[in-house]
Structure 1
Amino acid sequence: MLIRMVRMVFQPEKVKDFLLVFNDSKDKIRAFEGCRHMELLQDLNDPNIFMTYSYWDSETHLNNYRKSELFGQVWPATKKLFAAPPQAFSVHQITDDLLPDLLKKP
C-alpha cells in the first residue's frame, strides 16, 4: 500500500475556489481504481494550507490516476490557485511486522 500526501498553500482569496474543486471531485477520486482512502486536512494555524492524504493499492494505481482524464481536470484547476509550489510525498507504512526486517538491513 502506498500513502500519498500532497501539501498545498493557497492564495487566501482562492481557498473557497479550491474547496469547490475538491468537493466536486472527491467522490470521483475516491472511486478511482486503486484508491482506498482520500481525505482533506487543513493546517491548524494557517487556514490557507491544506493537505490531501490518500491510500493507493500501488504506485501503478497512483500513476494511472495521475495520467487520467480526471486528474487532467482536477490538477490544473487546483494548480492555478496556489500561493506556493505544492509538496508531494509518497510513503509506505512501517508496521510492527516489517520492523524486524528493516532492522536487519545494513
Structure 2
Amino acid sequence: MLVRIVKMVFYRQNVDVFLESFENNKTRIRASNGCTFLELYRDKNDPNILFTYSYWDSDAQLQEYRQSKEFKALWKTLKPLFSSRPEAWSLDRLETLD
C-alpha cells in the first residue's frame, strides 16, 4: 500500500474555489481504481494551506489515476489557484497502532 500526501498552498481568494472543486470530485477520486482512502486537511495556522491524504493499493494505480483524462482536466483547472508549487510525498506505511 502507498500513502500519498499532497500539500497545496492557495491564494486566499481561491480556497473556496478549491473546496467546491474537491466537494464535486471527491467521490470520483475515491472511486478510482486502487484508491482505498481519501481525506482533506487544512492547516491550523494558515487556512490557505490544504493537504490531501490518500491510500493507494500500488504506485502503478496512483500513476494510472495521475495519467487519466479526469485528473489532467482537474489539475488544469486547479493549477492557477496555487500560490506556490504543490508538494507531494509517496510513502510506504511501516506500522499502524490502533
- TM-score range for the pair, normalised by the shorter chain length: over 0.9
Contact 1:40–1:50 (CA<8 Å) still a contact in 2? yes
The aligned counterpart of 1:66 is 66
Aligned length: 96
Q: Secondary structure at the match of 2:26?
A: helix
Q: What is the CA-CA distance between 1:72 and the residue it aligns to?
A: 1.2
Q: What is the CA-CA distance between 1:92 and the residue it aligns to?
A: 0.8
Contact 1:3–1:91 (CA<8 Å) still a contact in 2? yes
Highest CA radius of gyration, 1 or 2? 1
Contact 1:21–1:77 (CA<8 Å) still a contact in 2? no
The aligned counterpart of 1:104 is none
The aligned counterpart of 2:94 is 94
The aligned counterpart of 1:83 is 83
TM-score of the pair, normalised by structure 2: 0.94
The aligned counterpart of 1:35 is 35
TM-score of the pair, normalised by structure 1: 0.88
Gaps of 5+ in 1: 97-106
Gaps of 5+ in 2: none
